[in-house]
Amino acid sequence: ALPGPAAAASGVGVNWGTMMSHPMHPAAVVRMLSANGVDRVKLFDADPWTVSALAGSGIQAMLAVPNDHLAAVARDPRRARDWVRDNVTRNLDAGVDVRYVAVGNEPFLKSYNGSFINITFPALKNMQRALDEAGVMVKAVVPLNADVYNSPEKTPVPSAGSFRKDINTLMVSIVNFLHRNDAPFVVNIYPYLSLYQNANFPLNFSFFDGGSKPVFDKGLVYTNVFDANFDTLVWSLRKAGVPDMKIIVGEIGWPTDGDKRANVKYAQKFYDGFLKKMAKNVGTPLRPGRMDAYLFALIDENQKSVLPGRFERHWGLFTYDGKPKFPMDLSGNGQDRYLLGVEGVQYLPSQWCVFDKDLKDRYRELPASVNYACSNADCTALGYGCSCNGLSHDGNISYAFNMYFQTMDQDVRACSFGGLAKIVTANASQGGCVFPVQILSASERVVPLRVLAASLVLSVAVFILM
């Protein structure tokens, strides 16, 4: 047998999100993390079911206070003390290696229209005070999107960077507070989003192999957007009076579906370059040396909002059932092979729900049926340039029906659609488009998929039926 994968490169962790309809058992996921040499995870809440599985594993954890709890923690220091007691002290006592508490997640995104502007800093202060009072060596941080700083359009170089004008005073206060408490600045940097949001962005500047025209700035040379973005933050911190502040990359990754440039080929190329960079401890032109980063994300999440883009449900290094998507070497030594998957995953029966083509006379009912299926299940792989883009008209309908059927645990009633569908036992997958069979959920707390924004549902249904 081949030896197991080498330990992940120093400073490399993963984000473990849990917004899926059918989660695997956390203990099985933790065993998979350990088997792949991953020694740190970043979570988006402090759910006991997930966190308790980390006890005794030796894996360092960043827990989180979700954005919708910030107001309460900001308003009342007792809420912070209660949160620390219930989620930090208790877990430390149980053998969970808690290192950080994330206060919110990207609370200053422009899409939030300022909802969290006035409560994030008070919540951060209350949380750090509660941690100090509890006598634990845990730091409160605020994971922020890279949109909290920028360079002006007329001088798009790192040295021109500073914190966003609308929040500059607030950011200066926050970074100085973090620095005084010896806490790092946690930033989420996504080269993929630079590409997704700008049609003219040079593709090769997203990667790490120097295949793009470099950017020159004050004697430094930038061959990729990650380095340029990171150093824009370094300049912003300098201007805020904390030039030596520690930085952790809270999220970085590349999705594998849901958009024409979200695919396995590009994801593999991106991770290969980034992990080799991490292993060499080269850092960035302005901040050379060791770096800490959490890859985003561990497992695909079929309940994530698709408002930012359909790719949101496809960030995982692993598929919904814990299988690795492509060969990679977390140690950064370039010895690419498939990571070890999650063991002991159980599947529902091998059956699929497909469109019954003999009922074409009832086509007028199809749009409503497809619309319903895709509003309650994940049809993002059907979009332009995605893995199931090449299906026939009937294949699109079958895909939508099957995704709903699987999401509903293969309930016979979920393969009716007014008589338009039927259950088959022959694998319905076509070419590169996988029609999945859902896994047996490890959670009793399964909630139905959030209904998407009506416009998105409609656009999917219209696309399928074109």
- The Cα–Cα gap between 59 and 40 comes to 5
Contact 428, 402 (CB under 8 A): yes
For residue 412, what are the CA distances in angstroms to 48, 308, 375, 402?
33, 33, 19, 12
Q: How far apart, in whole angstroms, are the C-alpha atoms of residue 381 and residue 378?
A: 8
What is the DSSP secondary-structure string of 174-192? HHHHHHHTT--EEEE--HH
Q: How large is the angle between the packed helices 454-464 and 366-376, nearest 10 degrees?
A: 130
Question: Two tokens at 95?
Answer: 């053998």
What are residue 12's DSSP bridge partners? Answer: 293
Catalytic residue among 251, 312, 343, 365: 251
Tokens of 349: 């029966």
Please choose, from the candidates 395, 402, 393, the residue with its C-alpha nearest in 3D space to the C-alpha of residue 422: 402
Which entry of 106, 133, 301, 343 is annotated as an active-site residue?
106
Beta strands 247-252 and 215-217: pairing type?
Answer: unpaired
CA distances from 464 to 258, 366, 382, 397, 407 (A): 14, 10, 7, 7, 19
Q: How far apart are CA 10 and CA 278, in angstroms?
A: 7
Q: What 3-state DSSP class applies to 150? A: strand
**Phi, psi values for residue 127, rounded to 5°:** -70, -45
- The span from the CA of 184 to the CA of 13, in Å, is 16
Q: Residues 6 or more apart from 219 whose CB is under 8 A from it?
A: none
Cα→Cα distances 370→261, 359, 407, 430, 456, Å: 26, 15, 14, 19, 13
Residue 10: exposure state from Cβ atoms within 10 A (0-12, 13-18, ≥19): middle
Q: Does 251 participate in catalysis according to the annotation? A: yes
The residues, ordered by sequence, that sit 6+ positions from 108 with a Cβ below 8 Å of its Cβ are: 116, 117, 120, 144, 145, 147, 148, 164, 167
Cα separation of 410 and 406, whole Å?
5
Compute the half-sphere exposure of residue 225: CA atoms within 13 Å on the CB side of its CA: 19
Catalytic residue set = 106, 251
